[in-house]
Structure 1
Amino acid sequence: MRANRNRDTGPELRLRTAVHALGLRYRVSRRPLPELRRTADLVFTKAKVAVFVDGCYWHGCPEPAHFRPSQRNSEFWRDKIATNQERDQETGRLLREAGWVVIRVWEHENMAVAAARIADIVRGRGQDRPITSNAG
C-alpha cells in the first residue's frame, strides 16, 4: 500500500504533459475550495475547472475490463471503493454548487483526447488561451 501514490501518478503525469502541450497552465494537487478537504489533480483557478484523474481500481471503473474486484478481503475493498465513489459524487456536487466545472478522467483514457476535452472546457470559460509565438 505504501507504493500507492496520491499524486504524480503515471496517468496524472501523462495528462499534465498533454494539457501543458496544448498551452494551458494549471495548479497541481490543490484544493479548489480551501474549506473542502478534497484535492483535485489539476486546478484551473480563474476558469473554475477542477480535474480528477481516477484510478480504475480505487474508484470502481464502470468498465468491467478495467475494474477487477479483489478476491482477498473482498468485503473490505467493496466497502472502501463504494466509500470512494460516494466521496467523489459528493465532491462533484459541492464543487458544482460553488460554480466549478468538474472533469473526471479515468486512468485508462487516452490522455491526449482527455486533454483536448479539458482545453475546450477551460477555454470555453474564458481562460487560458493557447500560447502563441511572436517569432518569425
Structure 2
Amino acid sequence: MDKLTKEQRRKNMQAVKATGSKIEIALAKALFASGYRYRKNDKTVFGKPDLTFKKLKIAIFVDSEFWHGKDWEIHKYDHKSNQDFWHQKIERNIQRDKDVNKALEESGWSVLRFWGKDIQKEINLCINKIEEIIKSRNNEFHKDTQRR
C-alpha cells in the first residue's frame, strides 16, 4: 500500500517535470561552462533529446532512474501499489528509449544517455564522454568537407 494519500501522491506526480529537471540543468550548465553550445529539447529531432548538437548529429538524453527503469529487472517489484500500471508504463518507456536510439543511430546520429545519479555524482565523466564524441564527430565532419 502507498504511504501517501491519493491527494499527496497526485501532487507529487504533478510536480514531475518533462523538461528542465535539476539533473538536465546541471549537465547543460557544465557543458555551457566548458564552452559548448547546444539546443535544448529540440522538437525537430526525433525523440526530442534533452540536448542536441545538430550540426554534429549528437543527441544527449538525461534519464531518471525511476521513469526509465534503471536496473529494471532488479527494481521491478519495488512498486507496492498499482504494479500492473507501473510495469506497463516503465517497460513502455524502456522500449521507447530503445526505439528512439535505433532510429537516431540509423539516421547517422550519435546517441548518449546518462542516468541522473551519474550526472549528480560524476558530472566530469559525463562531460568527458560528450567531449570525446564531439571531437570524433568534428574529425568526421572535417574529413567529409575536405573530400568535397
In which range does the TM-score fall when normalised by the shorter chain? Answer: 0.7 to 0.9
Report the secondary structure of 1:126's partner residue.
helix
* 2:58 alignment partner in structure 1: 49
Scaled by the length of structure 1, the TM-score of the pair is 0.83
- Alpha-carbon contact 1:69-1:78 (below 8 Å) kept: no
1:121 matched to 2:142? The reply is no
TM-score (norm 2): 0.77
> Corresponding residue for 1:91?
100
Residue identity opposite 2:67 in structure 1: W
Identity %: 33
Determine the C-alpha separation between the residues in 2 that align with 1:120 and 1:68: 37
AA aligned opposite 2:68: H
- Larger relative contact order (C-alpha < 8 A, sep ≥ 6)? 1
Task: From the CA coordinates, give the structure whose radius of gyration is larger.
Answer: 2
Deviations 1:7-42 (A, max 9, x none): 110110111111112211100011353xx4x21000
Segments of 5+ residues of structure 1 without an aligned counterpart are 128-136
- In 2 relative to 1, CA 9–67 (structure 1 residues): closer, same or farther, beyond 3 Å? farther
Secondary structure, counterpart of 1:90 in structure 2: helix
Structure 2, unmatched stretches of 5+, are 1-12, 140-148
- Alignment-derived partner of residue 41 in structure 2: 29
Runs of 4+ in structure 1 off by over 6 angstroms are: 63-68
Structure 1 residues 117 and 63, CA gap change in structure 2 (3 angstroms): farther
Q: Which moved more, 1:77-86 or 1:107-116?
A: 107-116
Count, aligned residues = 124
SS at match of 1:47: coil
Counterparts of 1:46 and 1:80, CA distance in 2: 33
Two-structure CA RMSD over aligned residues (Å): 2.1
